Amino acid sequence: MALLTVLCYPDPRLYKVAKPVAVVDARIKKIVADMAHTMYDAPGVGLAATQVDIHERILVIDISENQDELMVFINPELVWVSPEKKAWREGCLSVPDHYDEVERPDTVRVKALDINGEKFEIEADGLLSVCLQHEMDHLQGKVFVEYLSLLKRNRISLKMKKRIKELVGQR
């Protein structure tokens, strides 16, 4: 298993729109395994392929305490969202050290393919709902900071660019 590099906002590759997976074959299974390994290593509760510069509709999520309940979503689609909304403090592996409130539909129904290429559908609320919507946004080239004010976004961009510069300077 390989650890993949997570792109950092405002990297333009985070804005690419992912393409559907045609067949869940060995290549896709290897990507899923590497993404899960990368998510657990970070650690994060979810990871979208876009974040590791793979522009295919693949997500991994694990919201369990012991990192032992991996969920895989291939070609995920929102089939229903509740009219009720809820604000949640979100973070993102592509925007390290920034957390902010985002309002989203409280409950969602998502259909997808599992690791065996079989169709399934789930209804999610709470953290799983937030996480699914956050990850599906990544596949559309959207990072959660896009929901924040321009002022906040610019501040985050500047901080991230500074941080990247410092990292490069250390080498």
89 Cα distance to chain centroid: 15
CB 94 within 8 A of CB 78: no
The span of 45-53, 69-77, 108-116, 159-167 binding ligand GNR (CB under 6 A) equals 45-53
What b/e readout covers 18-34, taking b as 16+ CB neighbours within 10 angstroms? Answer: beebeebeeebeebbbb
Tell the smallest beta-carbon distance from residue 116 to Ni ion (Å): 26
Residue 135 bears catalytic tag = yes
Contact criterion met (CB below 8 Å) for 13 and 53: yes
Of the residues 31, 92, 102, 136, which one makes contact with Ni ion according to CB under 5 A: 92
Cis peptide before 10 (omega within 30 of 0): yes
Choice between 7 and 113, CB closer to ligand GNR? 7
Q: How many residues bind ligand GNR (CB under 6 A)?
A: 16
The string of DSSP codes covering 22-38 is S---HHHHHHHHHHHHH
Q: Write down the least CB distance from residue 42 to ligand GNR, Å.
A: 7
Q: How far apart are CA 5 and CA 14, in angstroms?
A: 13
Binding mask 111-140 for ligand GNR (x = CB under 6 A): -------------------xx--xx--x--
| 45 sits near ligand GNR (criterion: CB under 6 A) | yes
Q: Out of 84, 118, 135, 146, which one is annotated catalytic?
A: 135
Residue ranges in contact with ligand GNR by CB under 6 A: 44-48, 51, 90-94, 130-131, 134-135, 138
Active site residues: 135
